[in-house]
Amino acid sequence: MDSPFRADVLKGKVALLTGGGSGIGLEITTQFGRHGALVAIMGRRRHVLDSAVSALRSQGVSAIGIEGDVRKKEDAIRAVEETVKHFGKLDILVNAAAGNFLASAEDLSPNGFRTVLDIDSVGTFTMCHAALKYLKQGGPGRDSSSGGLILNISATLHYTATWYQIHVSAAKAAVDSITRSLALEWGTDYDIRVNGVAPGPIEDTPGISKLSPEEAQSKMKEYMPLFKLGEKWDIAMAALYLASNAGKYVNGTTMIVDGGLWLSHPRH
Ligand code: HXC
């Protein structure tokens, strides 16, 4: 689908995206690249990175892949440093890496719970922490007038409660809280904007295929206000708005992009 944004809205910006090689993360990477950004994607699987990088390059996007796990502090630091070494600076960090599976609270081991918090919540903080010195105004490669941007990919699961998602709900609640705290502290101290995007059910993603079998999806459509699943494109356009200058006064918010689903209940 065509973009409503000008092709140069992110011209010359350097973005590092965790989980940027697949699913929603890859669509954000692709749209950022198509709108002028130079992109580095970080992920655990080399083959996923390689195929994403070649797809991006074939569209004329400057892209590199960096193997790493957001749960490891040394990987986070190395990913940020490799990005800056390759592209000269860092303007945008997108935290899109996430882990997920369905498990009832009774069957979920504490280690399973911890694993998802380690990836989604601690991983997000670890990446932000590693990126700070490059994102702050006057940081290496930046001028002293403006700081960079952080975008955290969240969810809507924790606005109420979601079956078999106690671990992800807790993890994404923490992510939203991190978004607000960093927006306050780093917005004030370093002119860094920190925002989030909370996708609803998005078609063709690992999230929807893992978590919601097809029967559940068609049932869900019966009470969705817009009566359809979202597209990865919808999330990427929200990310593009927040990352571009159009969003320059938006800080500390998590934009819900779910067609209004979180507000709704089945009709009876
Ligand atoms: C119950 C499970 C489990 C499962 C793992 N565990 N899978 N428990 N059901 N299906 C438990 C294990 O038993 C173990 O606990 C602990 O979790 C760690 O498991 P490992 O396999 O060692 O972890 P790891 O190899 O690091 O794998 C991480 C993972 C994995 C999260 C478990 O699924 C993963 O990385 N998936 C790929 C990423 C992904 O799914 N992305 C899509 C995100 S979608 P014990 O106690 O046995 O040691 C998304 C959307 C949310 O986030 C919103 C949707 C609407």
pLDDT tens figures, 15-28: 999 999 999 999 99
Q: Ligand 1 in contact with 115 (CB < 6 A)? A: yes
CA distance 140 to 119: 28
With CA atoms as reference, report the closest residue to 35 among 65, 15, 64. 15
Q: Ligand 1 in contact with 111 (CB < 6 A)? A: yes
Q: Other CB atoms closer than 10 Å to residue 212's CB: what's the count?
A: 15
HSE-CB at 30 with a 13 A cutoff on CA atoms is 23
Statement: residue 223 has pLDDT above 90: no
With CA atoms as reference, report the closest residue to 179 among 198, 194, 159, 157. 194
Q: Ligand 1 in contact with 20 (CB < 6 A)? A: no
Q: Ligand 1 in contact with 174 (CB < 6 A)? A: no
Query: What pLDDT shows up at residue 218?
Result: 72
Instruction: Calculate the CA dihedral of residues 129, 131, 136, 142 and round it to 10 degrees.
Output: 170
φ/ψ of 65, rounded to 5, equals -115, 135
Report the percent of the chain where pLDDT is more than 90: 85
CA distance 243 to 239: 6
Nearest residue (CA) to ligand 1, atom 29: 99
In which band, very low, low, confident or very high, does the pLDDT at 268 lie, cut at 50, 70 and 90?
A: low
Whether the model clears a pTM of 0.90, i.e. scores above it, the answer is yes
User: Which atom of ligand 1 is least distant from the CA of 23?
Assistant: 42
Report the percent of the chain where pLDDT is more than 70: 98
φ/ψ of 115, rounded to 5, equals -60, -45
Architecture of domain 14-256: 3-Layer(aba) Sandwich (3.40)
- The pLDDT of 82-104, averaged and rounded, is 97
HSE-CB at 155 with a 13 A cutoff on CA atoms is 28
- The pLDDT of 113-117, averaged and rounded, is 98
**d(CA 110, ligand 1 centre) in Å:** 12
Most informative mutation of 26, 28, 104, 115 for ligand 1 (most atoms within 8 A of CB) = 115
Statement: residue 265 has pLDDT above 70: yes
In which band, very low, low, confident or very high, does the pLDDT at 212 lie, cut at 50, 70 and 90?
A: confident
* pLDDT tens for each residue of 159-207: 999 999 999 999 999 999 999 999 999 999 999 999 999 999 999 898 7
Nearest residue (CA) to ligand 1, atom 45: 111
Query: What pLDDT shows up at residue 243?
Result: 98
Q: Ligand 1 in contact with 103 (CB < 6 A)? A: yes
Nearest residue (CA) to ligand 1, atom 38: 99
DSSP-derived 3-state class of residue 89: coil
In which band, very low, low, confident or very high, does the pLDDT at 215 lie, cut at 50, 70 and 90?
A: low
**d(CA 12, ligand 1 centre) in Å:** 36
> Where are the domains positioned within the chain?
14-256
Query: What pLDDT shows up at residue 266?
Result: 72
- The pLDDT of 8-16, averaged and rounded, is 97
Query: What pLDDT shows up at residue 113?
Result: 98
Q: Ligand 1 in contact with 168 (CB < 6 A)? A: yes
Among 1-15, 104-118, 253-267, the least confident range: 253-267
In which band, very low, low, confident or very high, does the pLDDT at 152 lie, cut at 50, 70 and 90?
A: very high
